Structure 1
């Protein structure tokens, strides 16, 4: 029978966690610092034991909503992705999830738990009192040769990449201490949301926090696209670690989208990652526009459980309230 025990972070602990084959950037110390800082949350690290043998680890963060303790691994809106477990290959994820429930609601005293683990399936969740939603992601296998990756894209996507080059679009790699990058990205992000009559769901401080925490470890690629006149017309933020690069965010000005800088940014990122031994590019979410890059959809359920129906309702109300607040902020911005 598996058991979770909360532990303090030590160099030896981080070293052990980094040895698991299912490790992701979202389990690392720099990423947890970023989430803790941007969400004012408390990291929770736990070892998973089978008797006296350590067989895995759990990663999450505790926060408070309406005075209640919430354990997110992760929570929606944290601009992070799958967290959950690191496990020895022989350990079933369902068994780890069963052990997590008494740890979350008993040891930690949480009123609500959310988890999105890349290895969990809907079958793992059955019968455990969890609610879940399908939350697929789109990925690209970077193992094939560059020509094969390019050929797997939709013909229109390939034309757009060529058009960007012919139009003088140049992709530039920015450093983590570039003082202009976060401002450029966020200004373009405002333009992206404005197209939908909305405002960004997070502040520029979150972008700065992400870069500040990941850049020293060399775990983030920052790209900007410049037009023939040297103007920055699009940007992309791409964390990476171990075998995977993630599309955390991309933005561009509407008036320059006819130059196709977004496709050029993604193509540069794919080649950059492949050259460094990365074997997967993860768009962190499913969307029809991503299919043009030759993606494969991977199911990753997002599960949650509350101590009581009231807590579950409060979670839904908070989500609805956030959407209303965002629309109100957009109306205010347009009125200025």
Structure 2
């Protein structure tokens, strides 16, 4: 029978030693979540008897005085965490062991986990609740010509149109990128009567932790006269690239939105050994980039009945606040480089 045992992070097998590790399980990403969520990381080894057969990564937050374990939790702008296991180890058994670990050992009353290698059928076998997270993955092992040809003709047209109009893509490393991105993000959300679900400090934190280690790509698209038209952030690690966010101005001379940026990001990570580009969730516009549809279960388990109702109430209240605050959203204040 499998069991989880919390250990100091340095005592666990290195995350890079597992072929299924993701950027969201790395120390740099955990530093980012700890900083932006007020969370405390949890690293556990998975044991089969006395043998270590894997590890688990998550973080604990306290809300209203209770402990919640996320691997990840909604609102963290974080994707696949969960387990790293040897190939012959059952993830169903690991989930069962997580149940005991989260409630008994950690004293949490609720946990959530999204593991790229756990299927909906496996979760159904345990009878756990989950939300199916739809998305798309693009196969970067194909040639650039094949990648471009599989995109919808409108995507190809807009990409070529932007190039003809003199739109250029630049890789950013400067402190002003967060302000450019977030100012445009406010505009994008305001068009929908909403405000962003996070503030600019999260973008700055992401850049501070991930850019220096080469796992984050920042892109700007500039129009022919030099103005910043749109921005994009994409992650890459261990063969997997991930779309994290993009934004754009509303009134552009060339209404190319983010097609050129995404096409650049795909090629950038492809040349750096990434074999898959995850589009980061669903949306019909993402389907047009030629990826295959995927569904990953976002599992949730509560120690006490009724926790799901509380969770749903909190989610609805968050949406209400997001809509109510749309009119008050304003561009971020410029900061000194040392603050970024």
Give the TM bin, normalised by the shorter chain: over 0.9
Given the alignment, which residue of 91, 109, 127 partners 1:111?
109
- Indicate whether 1:187 and 2:183 are aligned: yes
Equivalent positions of 1:1-336 (< 5 A) are: 1-10=1-10, 13=12, 16-175=14-173, 178-256=174-252, 258-333=254-329
Q: Counterparts of 1:237 and 1:257 in 2: how far apart (Å)? A: 23
Contact 1:188 1:252 (C-alpha < 8 Å) held by counterparts: yes
Q: 1:19: how far off?
A: 1.1
Q: Counterparts of 1:157 and 1:197 in 2: how far apart (Å)? A: 26
Q: 1:307: how far off?
A: 1.1
Contact 1:129 1:305 (C-alpha < 8 Å) held by counterparts: no
Contact 1:236 1:251 (C-alpha < 8 Å) held by counterparts: yes
Q: Counterparts of 1:256 and 1:51 in 2: how far apart (Å)? A: 61
Q: 1:261: how far off?
A: 4.4
Uncovered stretches (5+) of structure 1, i.e. residues with no partner: none
Give the total of aligned pairs: 330
TM-score by length of 2: 0.94
Root mean square deviation, CA, Å = 1.3
Contact 2:169 2:219 (C-alpha < 8 Å) held by counterparts: yes
Q: Counterparts of 2:62 and 2:281 in 1: how far apart (Å)? A: 26
**Range 313-322 or range 141-150, more displaced:** 313-322
Deviation per residue, 1:127-163 (Å, 9 max, x gap): 5342111112211000011100000101111111100
Contact 1:164 1:261 (C-alpha < 8 Å) held by counterparts: no
Q: Counterparts of 2:81 and 2:157 in 1: how far apart (Å)? A: 37
Contact 2:12 2:45 (C-alpha < 8 Å) held by counterparts: no
Contact 2:12 2:43 (C-alpha < 8 Å) held by counterparts: no
TM-score by length of 1: 0.95
Q: 1:123 to 1:196 in 2, by over 3 A?
A: same
Contact 2:24 2:78 (C-alpha < 8 Å) held by counterparts: yes
Q: 1:126: how far off?
A: 2.2
Q: Counterparts of 2:35 and 2:324 in 1: how far apart (Å)? A: 26
**Range 307-316 or range 65-74, more displaced:** 307-316
Contact 1:225 1:261 (C-alpha < 8 Å) held by counterparts: no
